[in-house]
Amino acid sequence: MGERVPLRSSLRWRPLLAAPPLVFLTLFFLWPVLAILERGLRPAGRVDLGVVVDVLTDPTVARVAWFTLWESALSTIACIVIGLPGAALFARVAFRGRRTLWSLLLVPFVMPTVVVATAFIVLIGPSGVTGVSLTGTIWAILIAHVFFNYAVVVRTVGAAWMTLDDRTVEAARTLGASPVRAFLSVTLPQLRAAIAAAASVVFLFSFTSFGVVLLLGGVRQRTLEVEIYDQTARFLHLDVAAVLAILQLIGVVLVLVLLGRLRSGHGRSGTAVVGADLRAGREQLRPPASLGARLFLLINLAVMGAVLAAPLVVLVIRSLSTAQGWGFAAYRALGSARRGSTAFIDPTDALGNSLRFATVTMILAVLLGACGAWAIAGRGTPRGRSNGGRGPRFGGAAELALMVPLGASAVTVGFGCLIALDRPPLDLRTSWWMLPIAHTVIALPFVISVLVPGIRSVDGRLLDAAASLGASRLGVWWRVELPLVRRSLLVAAGFAFAISLGEFGATAFLVRADDPTLPIAIGRALGRPGGDSFSQALALSVILLVVTAVVVLAVDRLRPIRGAEF
């Protein structure tokens, strides 16, 4: 019998697992970002800050930058204020449909921006059903951002709240604290890290928000993201766009560093929103017995109904209403819309393209993400030691490197790929592969942030047990670890699929005329005048809505495998 190889030797090849995703991100994220820097700072092959100075002294740019900043800050505050009661609701109140609603929250979060924009145009557009026209104002953007990010706050903070021991609040009460003081001095400090994590994600998403601002903001409300797109696609000022992109990157990095300090000690990344599980101990959940508790439940449900459900419901209803009453006329018209016009996109082609891109993105992102996640979370050290089973320092650095694209905007990815990957050896501009690759860059951080906690939650003793029963290292992974991580893998795959399906920012830069995607088709239809185009946009939006919702709900309802918790 050979000498027994200690399990720790697996450490030696573990960093190699990080190589595929790191190489991928170097080629398709770092290289494009460097190309942006080059284009902005050395436009003609040598350092020339002329464009930089021009851009920085342009009052329009200052206005756009300032708007981007305060719009994001306001969105963040609004999301936290509206989301905190929701987090409390899920963490503390037992009510029928709690689990379903928790899953449903993810639907708005991954809803394609063009769908949301269409929905809000129906709801609060110039001829919207509410009669209040808010498009072109900051309010439309704020409401849309709350729509997208409500789940970030509720699920991130709610999951943290569920693990709080209610008795700490009761202890504070018996020690003389009023309910308000108990909340401020006991509950809130314990939630601080989770709130900071949620806030940082909401801020980043709002800071780099593209589709919503482009389609709802009108001409007055413009963020850096929209400005970069306009400078590129409309004015062909690539130098200016590059400088703006650099400006935005600096902003993103500053925000990440600043908020990283606030949430120090809080290991989870903000995208924990996706993997967040309902796990409150039952004794912490109380049925809403008092009048106040019932009112609290009702108000929260009303907020969710108004902000999250109403736009989507109205969108569906509106798509079914025609001049001749209720019917599927708008959907039937999709197949027979006027061909030949340059702007025309065959909807069935677009849907087919979107599904193909989404499938390839899903496979790429899960394969690369799994490599990265196991490199970060792989068991170098036994679980439950002082470092919390996180493995050695290597995991931290790899995690940081792989999570970076989260902070970068879709427009940066799209713009960067546009200017970097158009010449040999990497000439992908005209390749079919360009879009799935860009989508994978965007989906990868989400995939990793779902997989890492999943892998870490596997009880190391189960793997030790399998090894002691004679399983080889590969056998342990295949027969024990992989089945236990299966749910996380499926969730990650679902989200990668949904992200690709709805991706708009990068796609707007990179899409080829031959194979447009569904969001692009919707964006075009929205941009064309006429009632026919609009009902076409509605019908397409509903199709995209349904596909996205089905994918997201299917994966979120997968129950964790009980054994994983031992």
Partner 1 sequence: MRGGVLQLEAVGVLHLGAERAAVDSVSMEVAAGEILSILGASGSGKTTLLRAVAGLEPTATGSIRLDGADLAGVPPQRRGVALMFQDLALFPHLDVAGNVGFGLRGRGLDRAGRDQRVQDLLERVRLVGFEHRSVTTLSGGQRQRVALARALATEPSVLLLDEPLSALDRSLRAELLTELRELFRASDLTVVHVTHDQGEAFALADRVVIMDHGSVVAEGTPEQLWSDPGTEFVARFLGHRTILDADRIAHLVDIGAVGGRVLVPEPAVTVEVPDDPADANAVVESATFVAGRCEVRCRLLSGGAELTATLPTAPPSGTPVRIALDRTALRTLRT
Q: Which residues bind partner 1 (CB under 8 A)?
A: 165, 167-168, 170-179, 181, 185-186, 189-190, 192, 286-287, 289
Residue 551 near residue 494 (C-beta atoms within 8 A): yes
The structure tokens listed for 277 are 């599980």
Q: Select 186 or 238, whichever has its Cβ closest to partner 1.
A: 186
Q: How far is the CB of 166 from partner 1 (least distance, A)?
A: 9
Q: How far is the CB of 164 from partner 1 (least distance, A)?
A: 9
Is the backbone peptide bond immediately before 425 cis, with ω within 30 degrees of 0? yes
Other beta carbons within 10 angstroms of residue 320's beta carbon come to 17
Q: Select 287 or 527, whichever has its Cβ closest to partner 1.
A: 287
Q: Select 2 or 189, whichever has its Cβ closest to partner 1.
A: 189
Q: How far apart are CA 359 and CA 494, in angstroms?
A: 10
Q: How far is the CB of 154 from partner 1 (least distance, A)?
A: 22
Q: Select 129 or 171, whichever has its Cβ closest to partner 1.
A: 171
What DSSP element (H or E) covers 423? Answer: strand 422-423
Q: How far is the CB of 70 from partner 1 (least distance, A)?
A: 31
Residue 118 near residue 538 (C-beta atoms within 8 A): yes
Q: Select 61 or 172, whichever has its Cβ closest to partner 1.
A: 172
Burial class (CB in 10 A: 0-12, 13-18, 19+), 11: middle
First to last CA, the chain: 32
Q: How far apart are CA 56 and CA 61, in angstroms?
A: 7
Identify the CA nearest to 532 among candidates 350, 322, 218: 322
Q: Select 296 or 344, whichever has its Cβ closest to partner 1.
A: 296
Q: How far is the CB of 173 from partner 1 (least distance, A)?
A: 4
Sign of the dihedral defined by the CA atoms of residues 372, 377, 381, 387, in that order = positive
Q: How far apart are CA 283 and CA 375, in angstroms?
A: 37
The structure tokens listed for 410 are 């879709």
Q: How far is the CB of 160 from partner 1 (least distance, A)?
A: 12
Residue 218 near residue 526 (C-beta atoms within 8 A): no
Q: How far is the CB of 330 from partner 1 (least distance, A)?
A: 48
The residues pairing with 427 across neighbouring beta strands, listed in sequence order, are 422
Q: How far apart are CA 328 and CA 320, in angstroms?
A: 6
Q: How far is the CB of 388 from partner 1 (least distance, A)?
A: 12
Other beta carbons within 10 angstroms of residue 555's beta carbon come to 23
Q: Select 172 or 351, whichever has its Cβ closest to partner 1.
A: 172
Q: Select 193 or 366, whichever has its Cβ closest to partner 1.
A: 193
Q: How far is the CB of 91 from partner 1 (least distance, A)?
A: 16
Residue 92 near residue 285 (C-beta atoms within 8 A): yes
Q: How far apart are CA 533 and CA 340, in angstroms?
A: 15
Helix (H, G, I), strand (E, B) or coil at 326: strand
Q: How far is the CB of 411 from partner 1 (least distance, A)?
A: 39
Sign of the dihedral defined by the CA atoms of residues 227, 233, 236, 239, in that order = positive
The DSSP symbol for 124 reads H
The DSSP symbol for 93 reads B
Q: How far is the CB of 198 from partner 1 (least distance, A)?
A: 18
Q: Select 48 or 166, whichever has its Cβ closest to partner 1.
A: 166
Q: Select 122 or 169, whichever has its Cβ closest to partner 1.
A: 169
Query: What single letter denotes the amino acid at residue 30?
Result: L
Q: Select 174 or 468, whichever has its Cβ closest to partner 1.
A: 174
